[in-house]
A and B are shown apart, each in its own frame.
Chain A
């Protein structure tokens, strides 16, 4: 890639409208071109400046009430009559609260610490130019490659059918040991799935955590610990984890 190509894709890159190979090509060019790097850096600074400082005007409460009034709405809490959807909402809310509580209270400090490591690892992988050591959607290439470098064999499945194509695999270091990092794509988003044998061979149902704008899912199954992380929304992350767990 030359400077003209790289600069013509500056905005698409900045706005995460490029596919993963496109992003990697730009990263590679930026690593060796100071002039382009400076232009990209200036635009990054502008983008983060805008996101940090630009005024976000929130709708005044009076406006909300006025709109509700205009479309003929009486506030729900003034309706004396019992409605089934209210029961449904209450049940859903209770389930949600207990689910959140379960996440918050089940997570031991150790897991908390690991979660931080996973987030840092993911963030680091997004900054560097090499997201995958072996870039292929072929699970039969990724799995043997990882197995040859590690003392275990991680389950690797291409999930293109479920909308999460396998991008490749990478070695990483977490929990004081080398681990497998499987890279999946979803639109412009990247999902890192870290896999390694659990120390104590436990079993743990899926837990979720939201931190620093990332959604993290963690579960232990069949002696393997799984940590999936991405900036994808929670629902799609759950779909990913279910597709992965179901495919094995």
Chain B
């Protein structure tokens, strides 16, 4: 920065110091400030773009929509950059991705909300098995199958959104309960109960496969 300033001074050395000089100097400073922000954005958020995209993809289950959500989220993150303090850039960005997703959902898919998961209904429909102890199929056998990948992703895909997102944040992003709670804006206990329910549903689904 010091050197840049010197170069700016040298470049106008032939002209007399005056109005023009001062405004160029100010422009330079502004430019540097902007660049510093962009650089900070790269360091804090762009490094987590894969995480943001993966999360968005599991939320939207669509490439194009995931890209739109991530791009919008990055713009928001950039705007709020100055209010971001210190650590946890990934969790912060993921929280913004989540907010952006729900805004996007309301705007684009008003009808999609109507199929939102209702735990009560699902239990009433008998989707809930009595107890895990009673399930006989072996998860190990399922995972050793040739198409384990397809089965796992299919099972994840079928999970209701609330459960899919906590599982993705936990198992794919390796986030702690505290971080997940902050991102999904739910209490710690709810994080755990959703994870428990998600795993139960996944096991049921896979053991039926």
Residues of A within 8 A of B (CB): 10-12, 15, 17, 35, 38-39, 42-43, 45-60, 63-64, 66-68, 70-73, 81-85
Contact = CB atoms under 8 A, between A and B. Distances in A.
Nearest to A44: B139
Given A50-B171, A66-B71, 4 more contacts: A49-B148, A51-B171, A57-B58, A72-B34
Nearest to B42: A73
12 contacts: A12-B192, A47-B171, A49-B152, A58-B53, A63-B70, A64-B46, A70-B71, A70-B75, A71-B41, A71-B78, A73-B38, A85-B39
A11 B132 CA distance: 14
B105 interface: no
A35 B134 CA distance: 11
A59 B53 contact: yes
Contacts of A51: 171-172
6 A-B pairs with least C-beta separation: A59-B53, A57-B57, A53-B152, A49-B143, A53-B149, A50-B171
A59 B172 CA distance: 15
B132 A39 contact: yes
Contact of B67 (A17, A54, A63): A63
B57 A83 contact: no
Interface on chain A toward B: helix, strand, loop, or mixed SS? Answer: helix
Interface string B150-175: 00110010000000000110111000
B171 A57 contact: no
A57 B53 contact: yes
With most chain B CB atoms within 10 A of its CB, the pick from A10, A45, A81, A85 is A45
Nearest to A47: B171
A84 B39 CA distance: 13
B152 A59 contact: no
With most chain B CB atoms within 10 A of its CB, the pick from A45, A49, A82 is A49
Interface on chain B toward A: helix, strand, loop, or mixed SS? Answer: helix
B74 A46 contact: no
Interface string B56-86: 0110000100110011001100100000000
A83 B4 contact: yes
Contacts of A54: 152-153, 156, 168, 171-172
A53 B57 contact: no
Contacts of B58: 57
Contacts of A59: 49-50, 52-53, 70
Contacts of B139: 42, 45-46, 49
B50 A58 contact: yes
A206 B132 CA distance: 49
B2 interface: yes
Nearest to A73: B38
Contacts of B148: 49, 53
Given A11-B192, A45-B139, A66-B71, A50 B167 contact: yes
